Amino acid sequence: MRYHDTHFHLDLMPNPEGIAEKIEQNKVYTIAVTNSPTVFFYTEKISLNKRFLRPALGLHPELAFERQNEIDQFIKLLPKAKYIGEIGLDNFKKSPENFKTQKLVFEKIIEACDKEGGKILTIHSRKAEKEVLNIIGDKFSGKIILHWYSGSLRELDRAISIGAYFSINHSMTKSKNGQKIIERIPLNKLLIETDGPFTSLNSKPFIPTSVDIILDSLVRLKSNHENSDIVRERILKNFYDLINVN
């Protein structure tokens, strides 16, 4: 099975076109998230005629307060985007007014995605896991990926109960909290992400062609009671299940 990267900021990397070519050459299925609707056009253009690169329509929670006027453009673009992200909530050192606006924006996005149906969302939830899950609810019509989850085990179990997937990056595999979270997640709900350029190894940003490093660490962490080859194949297959490809 092919490798995958469900959360990568292609547009924030130097030489995005060159990296897109590497993604194609190495056949790594990649969801290229964006931070606002205006950036989506650029990423969509790079993705044209690419088999393995999937552009995602996003409105990052840390930009939602200053770019809340872009929500109308987001909703207009929604019919042409199967993949949605980066979206969500972030309540780390945010003012009450900022967080309130984030919630209003996120509610509109979830409502519109639910109405459209069939969307695959990659979601940011730092210090706001409960609120994110409250807004999504338990009958959402699409699929959700909680990107770089760092919340409580209680909210993790709640997310698991509604069928959420979880994308794991290098930083998560190396931290004690990340390892505790990974241990709790069912094997069939694990996915790989780089979140490049926001994660790096030896001062070099992660890109989709280096996901094997993350997968190797993830397999080691999840192979206590299972054959490592079975664990590896299961994690890779999860992406195919997510996008409904055999």
60 is in an annotated binding site: no
9 is in an annotated binding site: yes
DSSP-assigned letters across all residues of 36-58 = SHHHHHHHHHHHTT-SSEEEEE-
Burial zone of 54 (CB within 10 Å; 0-12 exposed, 13-18 middle, 19+ buried)? buried
What local confidence, expressed as pLDDT, does residue 244 receive?
A: 82
What is the rounded CA–CA span in Å between residue 83 and residue 120? Answer: 5
Domain 4-243 has CATH 3.40.50.300: no
Indicate the pairing of strand 190-192 with strand 165-168. Answer: parallel
86 is in an annotated binding site: yes
Phi and psi (nearest 5°) for 179? -65, -35
7 is in an annotated binding site: yes
| Stretches in the chain below the pLDDT threshold 50 | 246
CB 149 within 8 A of CB 193: no
What local confidence, expressed as pLDDT, does residue 224 receive?
A: 78
4 is in an annotated binding site: no
What local confidence, expressed as pLDDT, does residue 63 receive?
A: 97
Indicate the pairing of strand 29-32 with strand 4-8. Answer: parallel
225 is in an annotated binding site: no
What local confidence, expressed as pLDDT, does residue 225 receive?
A: 65
What is the rounded CA–CA span in Å between residue 156 and residue 185? Answer: 8
Phi and psi (nearest 5°) for 122? -110, 120
What local confidence, expressed as pLDDT, does residue 246 receive?
A: 43
CB within 8 A of 195, min separation 6: which ones?
7, 8, 9, 147, 148, 169, 206
What is the rounded CA–CA span in Å between residue 97 and residue 107? Answer: 15
What is the rounded CA–CA span in Å between residue 173 and residue 178? Answer: 6
CB 82 within 8 A of CB 54: yes
What local confidence, expressed as pLDDT, does residue 140 receive?
A: 97
